[in-house]
Amino acid sequence: TATKPRQPELKTALPGPQTQAIMARDAQHLSTSYMRPYPFVPDHGEGVWLTDVDGNTMLDFFAGIAVSTTGHAHPHVVKAVQEQVTKFSHVCLTDYPQEITTSLAERLVKHVERPGEKWRVFFGNSGAEAVEAAIKLARNHTGRSHVISTLGSFHGRTYGAITLTGSKTKYKRGFGPLLPGVTHVPYPNPFRPPLGSTPETCGQAVIDHIESLFQTVIPADEVAAIIIEPMQGEGGYIVPPADFLPGLRALCDKYGIMLIFDEVQAGMGRSGKMFSFQHFNVQPDIITLAKGIASGLPISAMLAKESVMTWPVGSHGSTFGGNPVAAAAAHATLDLLEGEVRHPGCGESLMQNASDVGTYIMNELRKMQAEFPFLGDVRGAGLFIGMEFVKPDGSPDGKLRDRASMAMFEKGLLNLDCGEAVIRISPPLILTREEAETGLGIMREALAGL
Ligand code: PMP
């Protein structure tokens, strides 16, 4: 609309006085575990713009960690939530069915079911809960206990999920003992190929490595599941080589192992397809979803093939899981993602928009690599894009990344780091090409000033 901002508008020096006051109270009363990458306290949002408590309007390339699919306060989502909350906001899905969650499950499985293959859905509230449900189901179904996960992965902060997480020891230090029976293997990162492999061979190298473990340390018939992010999020926005996931599928089939795809960050249209694994012609047994499902309302889902979802009545549940208000927001989000409802300026659907605008951003960033040699790698799919900062010798440059992140913020671009030296670009999927240009302009200026 005509009233939408086109550029960030900074009315105060950052941080402004209200921001400082709230941050001081926050530091007094909230958990000491929270991180504060830069001083920002939101007051309200509209679309891809967030205005802080001092009236500074910023462009949001962070989206609450890849959550705000439809941007902030999308009218279609707001209306759906308002309508549901006047009916009822809770009854407990573990005990009563609710049409709004039944139809949400029906809509979600449509994106994964193949002819002759039915799927079912368990609803939770967070990514970690979806991951816990996936592990419990895999163990229950197979009667096996071991789980293989990847280095660099992030699966959440509950005990099972932090055990699976393989990225940073700060998530684990002082919290042990963790879940027994978890082994981590390298993730096939083509920019930094593990196990002495090359960008082309790193996928097969990881598969061979797992199979060698079956001969030496983990009997394959004790492995319940391999859990993996089809595109790795917190670890650095990494896209594996094309042959990797199909190869992993074949390995799992050979040994009767459940293949779990954690789509919490890359799923729900962000990669330009509903699920990021759909770029690779492969089908998992179990899928975990959260973040982007409901444009910010808390709901998560664990999807499993019907043949796998064999746990008995009463064996798993959640008081809040599948909350109807969050489910209403999820329906509205899906309306926009699938294109049943159009968002002005975003073509046929938000999923298509993520693909189109994401491709544009990635191409522009790749051009910027020629200008800025410290931009070692630009990768991703759709609006799931990572830019990795490197030293002249090619090693990761986390310090430069941190300076770049702060410089972007100071120019009005909300952004978030990941991995050792990566800035992720994970904006709302309603980002128009014009707004993308604004963001790219800020990034170029910030990088030029480093
Ligand atoms: N899995 C992945 C891939 C994630 O990126 C995250 C969150 N960053 C989680 C699981 C955990 O989600 P939550 O914080 O909602 O528990």
Please indicate, yes or no, if residue 250 is contained in any of the structural domains: yes
The ipTM, to two decimals, is: 0.99
56 alpha carbon – ligand 1 mean position (Å): 29
Q: How many CA atoms lie within 13 A of 332 on its CB side?
A: 27
Q: Which atom of ligand 1 is nearest to the CA of 288?
A: 1
Task: Look at residues 118, 139, 99, 103 and name the one whose alpha carbon lies nearest to residue 304.
Answer: 118
126 belongs to a structural domain = yes
pLDDT in tens, 251-285: 999 999 999 999 999 999 999 999 999 999 999 99
Residue pair 250/280 in contact by the 8 Å Cβ criterion? no
Of 162, 237, 264, best ligand 1 pocket probe by most atoms within 8 Å of the beta carbon:
264
Ligand 1 site-directed mutation target among 125, 265, 417, most atoms within 8 Å of CB: 265
53 known ligand binder: no
CA dist., res. 193 & res. 237, Å (int): 15
Our answer on whether the CB atom of 299 is closer than 6 Å to any ligand 1 atom is no
Among candidate residues 91, 40, 123, 76, the one with its CA nearest the CA of residue 303: 123
Does residue 284 have its Cβ closer than 6 Å to ligand 1? no
Is 343 domain-assigned?
no
Residue 46 annotated as binding site:
no
Q: Is residue 20 part of a domain?
A: no
The tokens for 416 are: 């978030």
262 annotated to bind ligand = yes
Q: Whose CA is nearest to atom 12 of ligand 1?
A: 127
Q: Decide if 324 is inside a domain.
A: yes
Q: Listing from the earlier edge strand, what are the strands of the sheet with 182-185? A: 119-124, 300-305, 286-289, 258-262, 223-228, 146-150, 182-185
Ligand 1 neighbour 128 (Cβ under 6 A) = yes
Q: How far is CA 403 from CA 18, 290, 379, in A?
A: 24, 30, 20
Q: Which structural domain range is residue 328 located in?
A: 80-338
How many domains is the chain built from?
1
- The pLDDT assigned to 3 comes to 59
Does residue 249 lie in a domain region? yes
Percent of the chain clearing pLDDT 90 (strictly above): 99
User: What is the domain-level CATH number for residue 334?
Assistant: 3.40.640.10
pLDDT tens profile 56-97: 999 999 999 999 999 999 999 999 999 999 999 999 999 999
The string of pLDDT tens digits covering residues 179-237 is: 999 999 999 999 999 999 999 999 999 999 999 999 999 999 999 999 999 999 999 99
Q: What pLDDT does 65 receive?
A: 98
Name the 3-class secondary structure at 184: strand
Domain assignment present for 241? yes
Q: Is residue 190 part of a domain?
A: yes
Q: How confident is the model at residue 43 (pLDDT cuts 50, 70, 90)?
A: very high
- 321, 94 Cβ separation under 8 angstroms: yes
